[in-house]
Amino acid sequence: MPALNRVQLIGYLGKDPESKYTPTGKKVAHFSVAVTQRWKTGGETKEYTEWVNIEAWGRLGEVCQEYLKKGSLVYLEGRLKTDKSEDKSGETKYFTKVVALAMQMLDRKPSDEPMMTVEEEAADYEA
């Protein structure tokens, strides 16, 4: 049976992207995005914010590092990935993130220049 692993998000960056290089020399940027859902219940507006960890590889990571800042409004498309690690007590911890495959900045520049869109080749990120 076929499978699909695709995520689309629109949200605001919680902090500036942080980048590092892997031992093989590939650049990876990490940042978080706040995605807020709003609804009305009995005339009262409620909201819930989900914080999503994002990982962007290669050229896409470079563009994210250069152009995105805390508070930037961004559209991201990617896939879910769950990693695991052991804490100091030896307990295994799992955490899920989105590996970005495409990004579009949604903030308007003062000069009303067109919005930038970047898509990454699937082979440019590590599994």
Q: State the pLDDT at residue 65.
A: 94
pTM of the model: 0.80
Domain ranges of the chain: 7-124
pLDDT along the chain (127 residues), means of 10: 94 96 92 95 93 96 94 96 92 95 85 56 50
The sign one gets for the Cα dihedral 112, 63, 72, 12 is: positive
Q: State the pLDDT at residue 112.
A: 54
Q: State the pLDDT at residue 113.
A: 53
Question: Thinking of the domain 7-124, which architecture would CATH place it in?
Answer: Beta Barrel (2.40)
Residues 6+ apart with CB under 8 A from 35: 9, 10, 11, 49, 50, 51, 52
Q: State the pLDDT at residue 126.
A: 53
DSSP letters for 63-115:
HHHHH--TT-EEEEEEEEEEEEEE-TTS-EEEEEEEEEEEEEE-SPPTT-PPP
